Chains A and B, each alone.
Chain A
Amino acid sequence: MLKYTQRTEAVLLLEDGTLFKGFAIGKKGTTGGELCFNTGMTGYQEIYTDPSYFGQVVLNTTAHIGNYGTVAQEVESESIKIKGLVVKGFSDSYSRQTATESLQTYLEKANIVGISDIDTRQLVRHIRDKGAMNVVISSEFTDLPTLQAHLKTIPDMNGLELASLVSTTAPYFVGDEKALFKVAVMDYGVKSSILQNMATRGIYCKIFPAKTTFDEVAAWNPDGYFLSNGPGDPSTMQYAIASTKKMLESGKPLFGICLGHQVLALAAGLTTYKMHTGHRGLNHAVKNLRTGHCEITSQNHGFAVKGEDIANNSNVELTHLNLNDQTVEGIRLKNYKAFSVQYHPEAAPGPHDAQYLFDEFLELMQQ
Chain B
Amino acid sequence: MPRNTAIKTVLIIGSGPIIIGQACEFDYSGSQASRSLREEGIEVILINSNPATIMTDSVTADHIYLLPLEKKSIVEILKKHQIDAVLPTMGGQTALNLAIECEKAGIWKKYNVQMIGVDTNAIRTTEDRELFRQKMIELGVGVCKGRTANSYLEGKEIAQEIGFPLVIRPSFTLGGTGGGFVNKPEQFDNALKHGLQCSPMHEVLVEQSIVGWKEFELELLRDKADNVVIICSIENFDPMGVHTGDSVTVAPAMTLPDTVYQKMRSLAIKMIRGIGNFTGGCNVQFAVNPATDDIVAVEINPRVSRSSALASKATGYPIAKIAAKLALGYTLDELKNPITKTTSACFEPTIDYVIVKVPRWNFDKFKGADTTLGLQMKSVGEAMGIGRSFQEALQKACQSLEIKRNGLGADGKELTNQAEILHSLEFPSGGRLFHIYDAFKLGIAFKTIQKLTKIDKWFLQQVEELVLIEKEMGKYQLDTLPKQLLLAAKQKGFSDRQIAHAMSCLESAVNKHRNDLGIRRVYKTVDTCAGEFEAKTAYYYSTFDGENESHPSDKKKVIILGSGPNRIGQGIEFDYSCVHGVLAAKECGYETIMINCNPETVSTDPDISDKLYFEPVFWEHLYDIIQHEKPIGVIVQLGGQTALKLAEKLHRYGVPIIGTNYESLDLAEDRGRFSDLLKSLSIPYPDYGVIEDAEQAVELGRKLGYPLLVRPSYVLGGQSMKIVINDQELEQHVVNILNEDPKNRVLLDHFLEGAIEAESDSICDGKDVYTIGIMEHIEPAGIHSGDSNALLPPFDLSENVINQIETYTKKIALALNTVGLLNIQFAVKNEKVYIIEANPRASRTVPFICKAYQEPYVNFATKVMLGEKKVADFTFNPVKNGYAIKVPVFSFNKFPNVNKELGPEMKSTGEAIYFIDDLQDDYFVKLYEERNLYLSR
Interface residues of A (CB under 8 A from B): 1-5, 20, 37, 39-43, 45-46, 61-64, 67-68, 71, 74, 88-89, 91, 93-98, 118-122, 124-125, 128, 281-285, 287, 292-294, 296, 323-325, 347-352
Contacts and interface: CB of A to CB of B under 8 A. Distances in A.
Contacts of B87: none
A96 B257 contact: yes
A68 B255 CA distance: 6
Nearest to A355: B266
Interface stretch (B526-534, B554-562, B643-651, B827-835): B526-534
A67 B460 CA distance: 12
Contacts of A42: 253, 256-258, 261-262
A62 B352 CA distance: 4
B490 to A, nearest CB: 13
Nearest to A295: B227
A61 B333 contact: no
B347 A284 contact: yes
B531 A128 contact: yes
Contact of A2 (B225, B390, B469): B469
8 contacts: A1-B468, A2-B465, A64-B254, A74-B259, A95-B456, A124-B532, A323-B344, A348-B258
Given A93-B458, A293-B225, A324-B347, 7 more contacts: A40-B258, A41-B233, A61-B531, A89-B388, A285-B333, A296-B230, A325-B343
A281 B528 CA distance: 13
Contacts, number: 175
A96 B388 contact: no
A98 B545 CA distance: 34
Contacts of A296: 229-230, 347-348
Contacts of B469: 2
Contact of B257 (A43, A120, A287): A43
A41 to B, nearest CB: 5
Mostly, the B contact residues are loop
Contacts of A118: 546
B524 interface: yes
Nearest to B340: A324
Interface in B309-362: 331-333, 342-344, 346-354
B565 interface: no
Contact of A63 (B331, B342, B389, B484): B389
Contacts of B344: 285, 323-324
A93 to B, nearest CB: 6
- 9 closest A-B pairs by beta carbon, nearest first, are A119-B546, A43-B258, A122-B547, A323-B344, A349-B258, A95-B458, A61-B530, A42-B258, A95-B457
Contacts of B354: 63-64
A350 B262 contact: yes
Nearest to A61: B530
B291 interface: yes
B931 interface: no
Given A88-B352, A283-B347, A67 B388 contact: no
B389 A89 contact: yes
A68 B347 contact: no
A94 B459 CA distance: 10
Given A39-B530, A39-B532, A64 B347 contact: no
Say which size band chain B's interface belongs to: 35 or more
Contacts of A351: 262, 265-266, 348
B292 interface: yes
B131 to A, nearest CB: 27
B481 interface: no
Interface string B447-475: 00000000011110100010011001000
Given A124-B531, A323-B344, A61 B352 contact: yes
Nearest to B291: A97
A89 B485 CA distance: 16
Given A40-B350, A91-B458, A324-B533, A352 B257 contact: no
B460 to A, nearest CB: 9
B551 to A, nearest CB: 13
Contacts of B259: 74
A93 B461 CA distance: 9
A323 B458 contact: no
Nearest to B461: A93
A88 B469 CA distance: 19
Interface of B: 225-227, 229-230, 233, 252-259, 261-262, 265-266, 290-293, 331-333, 342-344, 346-354, 388-390, 456-459, 461, 465, 468-469, 472, 484-485, 488, 524, 529-534, 545-547, 549
Given A122-B547, A125-B531, A285 B347 contact: yes
Given A2-B469, A287-B333, A64 B390 contact: yes
A121 B547 contact: yes
A270 B843 CA distance: 68
Contacts of B547: 119, 121-122, 125
A257 B390 CA distance: 36
Nearest to A3: B465
Given A4-B485, A68-B257, A281-B350, A62 B458 contact: no
Given A20-B546, A97-B290, A62 B255 contact: no
Contacts of B346: 285, 287, 294, 323
B532 A128 contact: yes
Contacts of A39: 350, 352, 529-530, 532
A4 B391 CA distance: 15
Given A63-B389, A64-B389, A89-B389, A122 B347 contact: no
Contacts of A350: 258, 262
Contacts of B348: 282-283, 296, 351
Contacts of A293: 225-227
A174 B884 CA distance: 76
Contact of B343 (A45, A124, A324): A324
B372 to A, nearest CB: 26
B254 A283 contact: no
A62 B350 contact: yes
A324 B529 CA distance: 12
A120 B262 contact: no
Contacts of B225: 292-294
A125 B546 CA distance: 12
A120 B350 contact: no
B286 to A, nearest CB: 15
B255 A67 contact: yes
B923 to A, nearest CB: 51
Contact of A62 (B257, B293, B530): B530
Contact of B524 (A46, A121, A287, A324): A121
B546 A349 contact: no
A93 B460 CA distance: 11
Contacts of A124: 352, 530-532
A188 B326 CA distance: 42
Given A2-B472, A41-B252, A42-B258, A98 B353 contact: no
A294 B531 contact: no
Contacts of B524: 121
B353 A63 contact: yes
Contacts of B461: 93, 95
Contacts of B257: 42-43, 45, 68, 71, 74, 96
Nearest to A20: B546
Contacts of B351: 41, 62-63
Contacts of B254: 64, 67
A6 B485 CA distance: 12
A97 B346 CA distance: 35
Contact of B350 (A122, A128, A283): A283
Contacts of B290: 97
B265 A323 contact: no
B809 to A, nearest CB: 52
Most buried by A among B229, B233, B266, B352: B352
B388 to A, nearest CB: 6
A208 B350 CA distance: 37
B262 A347 contact: yes
B545 A119 contact: yes
Contact of B255 (A5, A20, A96, A285): A96
